Amino acid sequence: MKKICCLTILCCITSTVFCQPNNISIIPEPVVLSQKSGTYLLPKNITISAANNAEVKYAADYLGSKLSKATGYTVTITERATTASVELLLNKSADNSLGKEGYKLSVTGKNIIINANQPAGLFYGVQTLLQLLPKEIESKTVAKNIKWSMPCVEITDYPRFGWRGLMLDVSRHFFTKEEVKNFIDEMSRYKFNLFHWHLVDDEGWRIEIKRLPKLTGVGAWNVKRVGHFGDFKDIRDDEPRNNGGFYTQEDIKEVVQYAKERFVNVLPEIDVPGHSMAAIASYPELSCTEGADKYKVISGEKFIEWPEKGHFYGLLDNTLCPANEKVYPFLDMVFTELSQLFPFEYIHVGGDECAQNFWEKSDAIKALMQKENLKTMLEVQGYFENKLERIINSKGKKMIGWDEILESGVSSSAAIMSWRGTKGGIEASNKGHEVVMSPSTYVYLDYMQSDEIMEPKIYASLRLNKTYSYEPVSEGINEKLVKGIQGNLWTEQIYNYRQVQYMAWPRAFAVSEIAWSPSAKKNWTSFVGKVEDHFKRFDAGEIKYAPSMYDPEFKVVKNDKAELTVSLSTELDGLDIYYSFDNSYPDLFYPKYTGPVTVPVDATLMRVITYRDKQPLGRINNMQVAELKKRAEKK
């Protein structure tokens, strides 16, 4: 919904200093939005009235701090209910249409009122309100010469799903407490309410467990390498193991509190029995494999084979051994401390990609199978998962795991996170499990956002339009058991926080709109316009994002004369594509793409750029002809 307010046009004609477009560009799209005539201008002394309630105060403080930081105006938070610039009101009797997280926002020429049943709704009303203000509201310092006005509106809004998540992997690469808080703050602006914290994996154990000090003394540290993760050369013994880090229990409490103030639940994940090299490097006795005492925390060197055909297998054994009785007291200690740190009702136990080749050879596993009458390795994992669920439940928590745990026959009280497409979620819901949909095919935020010539290389691509097209209530799913959706950000190829932002945005905008807005409100064209407006907000807030939606898509075939013919397309409508084959940088005076083009005989490089309204967008895409040839020959 992009509308230019008449008043804004007038303002732009009469004043160049105060020219502020008042586009209404809210992500996620509200349920009902009605624009009224007029604008509300923030006074230089802003008062926010909020009930004396700790959680309402979170919303009021959040708003107050954003307003004062960017505007430089004085902000007073008061308990008085009338004549304030902004009133945050809890409904005396619940408005059933709003539920726990909905709100009503009214902006008139006189003031702003947000009503909600619960404080979370007030917080989401605040987020919408901030998106109605000029983009400079995102500035970290006082923005000068801004007319701090917003269009008059009446909005009624509430979420489609109660679980609106993003996952961040802090094991493959470590992100500091401050970076994690930033991530939570950024997601909360788009009404996400669940932060899934992937705390342990083969490359690092990131959470202090006081009774198991080696987990962080040893398990949090590897050797620093950069390049293409997964292909690193073998690590030498003399290289320093000083790369990584972990969160103390005090850090964890601080992050959980920070998230609470933004109405975000924190779901911790301890990924077992696979992905456990950091735990085994710390406590090798948890393995059943001889030689595990030599294992080290991985940096990104190859230790699992992923053949194109057939099942993956470990070159080293990164699994906790289900037949090893030391494993269960270990898990009990971990989950005892964990459950005291995280108030959220669920704990994620991983369960994905567990290699079985070492189990197959293990005498201890063979004995366990005989004793427990287990027929397959999946049943062995099922034995482990069932014992694990009893541990989790004994701490007063519910268990959730990746969809592999369904195959191993876990009980229907465990929730399933469907990542290998949607099949696992559909099947799980029909077996009575609650499900969270996070299919890699639509919402894996670590996948490349355009052609691999433009992005850090990973094994798959996922463009913004594909993410936006996702509908979580797939055919055949038991809709009642779909708790919501989640985007996952694995960090194998992500070495710094700026790249975390780049990978998350704009695809997380799409995830947010799918999770919050009614499906009937989804509209790709209007969404793209909003994304572009939010790019400007991110520029003002110094948040990185990917411009990949402007990159063209390349398709190539060989014609009957063995010439390469390239077809180009774009995700967005209305873009012009210009190209060169002579190594120079194309602009709008170069050949414009109108249909498939034949690669000239001696050309070595095709450069491509997209324009709109005579303005360049995004970046130059440099496609080697040798790469085109390779792709054409692959078919």
If you count them, how many residues does the chain have?
Answer: 635
For 42, residues 6+ apart whose C-beta sits below 8 A from its C-beta are 67, 71, 73, 85, 133, 148, 149, 150
Backbone angles phi, psi at 625, to 5 degrees: -65, -35
For the bound state, the minimum distance from the C-beta of residue 292 to ligand ACM, rounded and expressed in Å, comes to 22
Token representation of residue 574: 């209305």
In one-letter notation, the amino acid at residue 579 is Y
Interface ranges with ligand ACM (CB under 6 A): 352-353, 402, 419
372 labelled catalytic = no
Marked catalytic residue, from 275, 348, 433, 534 = 275
Marked catalytic residue, from 179, 185, 353, 553 = 353
Comparing CB distances to ligand ACM, the nearer of 441 and 526 is 441
Token representation of residue 456: 């850090």
CA-closest candidate to residue 284, choices 313, 326, 242: 326
Question: Nearest to ligand ACM by Cβ — which residue?
Answer: 352
Comparing CB distances to ligand ACM, the nearer of 201 and 551 is 201
Comparing CB distances to ligand ACM, the nearer of 419 and 545 is 419
Comparing CB distances to ligand ACM, the nearer of 85 and 171 is 171
Q: What is the DSSP string of 60-88?
A: HHHHHHHHHHHH--EEEEES--SS-SEEE
For the bound state, the minimum distance from the C-beta of residue 419 to ligand ACM, rounded and expressed in Å, comes to 4
Comparing CB distances to ligand ACM, the nearer of 255 and 304 is 304
Residues 313, 306 contacting (CB under 8 angstroms)? no
Residue matched to tokens 């994620």: 348
Return the axis-axis angle of helices 507-516 and 497-504, rounded to nearest 10°.
Answer: 50
Marked catalytic residue, from 29, 136, 157, 201 = 201
Preceding omega of 28 cis (within 30 degrees of 0): yes
Chain-centroid distance, C-alpha 417 = 14
Count of beta carbons in the 10 Å neighbourhood of residue 326: 13
Token representation of residue 423: 């099949």
Comparing CB distances to ligand ACM, the nearer of 301 and 446 is 446
For the bound state, the minimum distance from the C-beta of residue 344 to ligand ACM, rounded and expressed in Å, comes to 19
For 552, residues 6+ apart whose C-beta sits below 8 A from its C-beta are 451, 568, 569, 570, 577, 593, 608, 610, 621
Angle at 27 between CA 22 and CA 28, to 5 degrees: 140
For the bound state, the minimum distance from the C-beta of residue 423 to ligand ACM, rounded and expressed in Å, comes to 14
For the bound state, the minimum distance from the C-beta of residue 490 to ligand ACM, rounded and expressed in Å, comes to 6
For the bound state, the minimum distance from the C-beta of residue 488 to ligand ACM, rounded and expressed in Å, comes to 6
Q: Can you list the alpha helix ranges (DSSP code H) found in 277-326?
A: 277-282
Distance CA 39, CA 5 (A): 9
For the bound state, the minimum distance from the C-beta of residue 609 to ligand ACM, rounded and expressed in Å, comes to 34
353 labelled catalytic = yes
Comparing CB distances to ligand ACM, the nearer of 349 and 556 is 349
Give the residue numbers marked as catalytic.
Answer: 201, 275, 353
